[in-house]
């Protein structure tokens, strides 16, 4: 393998590089958000109980994604830094350890899917219809999540070496597969049996496995910076430690978010099952705004990691500034759209009556937080790129564990359900207040005094 040629992460003009990395990732994340929305649209046709069931399933699905993403973020950061340092054997080792960790994560969630899904729903509702819908849906998603794990880690490997367009292609193929299969599996088209909400889950896991196969093949055939070889694989606790030094804070952050969302669902369920459905619908809608931003910051992690390894400070500075400007523009646009047409957005999900009224109110109250939230997202990604996940973990830990649930409960009990959605704005302001000085410290200690080489 020829490793002499400099990777574009260290040579391409920075603004062009940010867009060449972020563009495909943003498109792929938009596609992911689109299929999440379409999935919920079809489920809403089954009924509000089915929509509530998928909303209750959402936090655990988010936990599965978070474990895979956290592992992938750690692999991305490690591999991109080792490529920047020209330590190719260590980059290859990091990639192979990522796949090993995928298998371990799948076994854990498979065991949960086989033993604990009915118990999980019994903790939130005694409505037998919602519980059955939820069990049918989540059992499939947990037992067959191997494709999800492999797809996410494989795509992070493509991103770590600057091949964002290949990552985009794999994600789009998986999402399109899901979108096509959803109505077929749910309603029984083209000779298939009607599977209802279980069909939505089957379509999802098939799409994930299609995405995984394509992403793995791209790494084997197209990714010349990384060599995947089982024969050369040597287990290393040090490599796992390096991966989770960055990835574990991300996983813990998301796990805390999962617990927070579960508790918020529990709080809201005490007052209104409709509020739980609204929260689930809102998360689907806001993913359409946040997903492109996350695609942008995924590219930023690879750019920062590579140039940190190569000691090119000026490129890091320009990349972070460019990402911040683009992210703010995305979020401001999202806020404007959500303020102007919340009724039409809720109408997509067949909402009417109290579901429609509460949904419109929630969208208008939460969306102003977008521009606030993006500051911590971009700065956290900068820190992740240099191998420090704490400026991402700590602000989100405080936000989720000490702000979201208590404030939600207080507002719901003493002020009224119409005010609970302000919880999000309060939480994001607190996260920014904590993140900014932490990120500034990381910059001073790790980036500011880098000795630049060929900057």
Q: Dump pLDDT digits (tens) for 80-106.
A: 888 878 888 888 888 899 899 999 999
pTM above 0.85, yes or no: no
List, for residues 104-114, the tens digit of each pLDDT value. Answer: 999 999 999 99
User: Rounded mean pLDDT of 155-161?
Assistant: 82
Identify the pLDDT of residue 379: 93
DSSP 417: G
Indicate whether 2 pLDDT > 50.
no
> What length does the chain have?
455
Identify the pLDDT of residue 7: 63
What percent of the chain has pLDDT above 70? Answer: 97
Cα 109 to Cα 146, 203, 230, distances in angstroms: 9, 18, 24
Contact 75, 91 (CB under 8 A): no
Indicate whether 1 pLDDT > 50.
no
Cα 206 to Cα 73, 175, 283, 357, distances in angstroms: 24, 10, 23, 35
Identify the pLDDT of residue 3: 43
Identify the pLDDT of residue 210: 96
User: Rounded mean pLDDT of 374-387?
Assistant: 89
Q: Which residue has the tokens 């867009």?
A: 19
Q: What are 70's two structure tokens?
A: 């956290």
Query: Of 206, 197, 166, nearest to 27 (Cα)?
Result: 166
Question: Mean pLDDT across the chain, nearest whole number?
Answer: 85
Range of lowest pLDDT (21-35, 109-123, 164-178, 416-430): 21-35
The 10 Å Cβ neighbour count of residue 12 is: 17
List, for residues 305-334, the tens digit of each pLDDT value. Answer: 888 888 888 899 999 999 999 999 999 999
How far apart are alpha carbons 28 and 295 in whole angstroms?
A: 8
Q: What are 204's two structure tokens?
A: 């999802």
How far apart are alpha carbons 393 and 406 in whole angstroms?
A: 19
Q: Which residue has the tokens 């208590």?
A: 406
Beta strands, E only, 62-161:
none
User: Rounded mean pLDDT of 159-173?
Assistant: 83
Q: What are 395's two structure tokens?
A: 């602000």
Identify the pLDDT of residue 454: 42
Interaxial angle between packed helices 370-385 and 313-340, expressed in degrees from 0 to 180 and rounded to the nearest 10: 160
User: Rounded mean pLDDT of 48-57?
Assistant: 83
Query: Of 387, 80, 429, 346, nearest to 250 (Cα)?
Result: 387
Cα 218 to Cα 119, 207, 360, 451, distances in angstroms: 40, 17, 42, 35
User: Rounded mean pLDDT of 356-366?
Assistant: 90
How far apart are alpha carbons 149 and 108 in whole angstroms?
A: 12
Indicate whether 389 pLDDT > 80.
no
Indicate whether 9 pLDDT > 60.
yes
Indicate whether 265 pLDDT > 60.
yes
How far apart are alpha carbons 301 and 386 in whole angstroms?
A: 8
Identify the pLDDT of residue 70: 86
Identify the pLDDT of residue 41: 80
How far apart are alpha carbons 58 and 280 in whole angstroms?
A: 7
Cα 262 to Cα 143, 269, 376, distances in angstroms: 20, 10, 23
Indicate whether 20 pLDDT > 80.
no
């Amino acid at each position: 393998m020829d490793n002499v040629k400099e990777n574009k992460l260290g040579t391409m003009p920075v603004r062009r590089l940010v867009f060449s990395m972020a563009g495909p990732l943003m498109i792929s994340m938009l596609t992911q958000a689109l299929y999440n929305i379409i999935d919920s649209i079809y489920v809403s046709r089954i009924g509000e109980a089915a929509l509530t069931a998928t909303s209750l399933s959402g936090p655990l699905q988010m936990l599965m994604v978070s474990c895979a993403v956290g592992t992938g973020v750690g692999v991305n950061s490690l591999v991109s830094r080792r490529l920047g340092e020209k330590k190719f054997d260590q980059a290859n080792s990091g990639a192979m350890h990522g796949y090993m960790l995928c298998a371990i994560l799948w076994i854990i969630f498979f065991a949960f899917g086989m033993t604990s899904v009915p118990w999980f729903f019994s903790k939130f509702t005694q409505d037998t219809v919602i519980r059955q819908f939820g069990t049918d849906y989540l059992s499939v998603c947990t037992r067959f999540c191997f494709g999800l794990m492999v797809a996410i880690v494989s795509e992070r490997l493509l991103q770590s070496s600057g091949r964002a367009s290949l990552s985009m292609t794999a994600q789009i193929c998986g999402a399109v597969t899901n979108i096509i299969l959803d109505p077929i599996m749910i309603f029984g088209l083209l000779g298939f049996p009607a599977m209802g909400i279980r069909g939505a889950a089957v379509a999802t896991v098939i799409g994930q496995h299609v995405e995984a196969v394509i992403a793995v093949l791209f790494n084997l055939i197209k990714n010349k910076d990384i060599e995947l070889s089982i024969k050369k694989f040597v287990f290393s606790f040090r490599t796992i430690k390096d991966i989770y030094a960055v990835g574990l804070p991300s996983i813990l952050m998301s796990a805390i978010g999962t617990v927070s969302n579960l508790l918020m669902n529990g709080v809201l369920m005490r007052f209104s099952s409709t509020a739980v459905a609204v929260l689930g619908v809102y998360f689907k809608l806001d993913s359409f705004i946040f997903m492109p931003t996350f695609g942008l910051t995924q590219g930023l992690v690879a750019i920062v990691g590579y140039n940190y390894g190569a000691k090119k400070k000026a490129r890091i500075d320009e990349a972070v500034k460019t990402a911040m400007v683009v992210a703010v523009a995305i979020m401001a646009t999202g806020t404007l759209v959500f303020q102007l047409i919340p009724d039409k957005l809720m109408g997509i999900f067949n909402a009417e009556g109290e579901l429609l009224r509460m949904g419109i109110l929630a969208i208008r109250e939460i969306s102003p937080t977008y521009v606030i939230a993006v500051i911590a997202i971009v700065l956290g990604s900068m820190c992740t790129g240099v191998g420090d996940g704490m400026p991402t973990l700590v602000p989100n830990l405080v936000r989720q564990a000490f702000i979201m649930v208590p404030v939600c409960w207080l507002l719901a009990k003493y002020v009224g359900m119409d005010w609970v959605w302000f919880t999000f704005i309060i939480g994001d302001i607190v996260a920014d207040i904590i993140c900014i000085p932490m990120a500034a410290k990381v910059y001073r200690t790790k980036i500011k005094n880098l000795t630049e080489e060929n900057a």
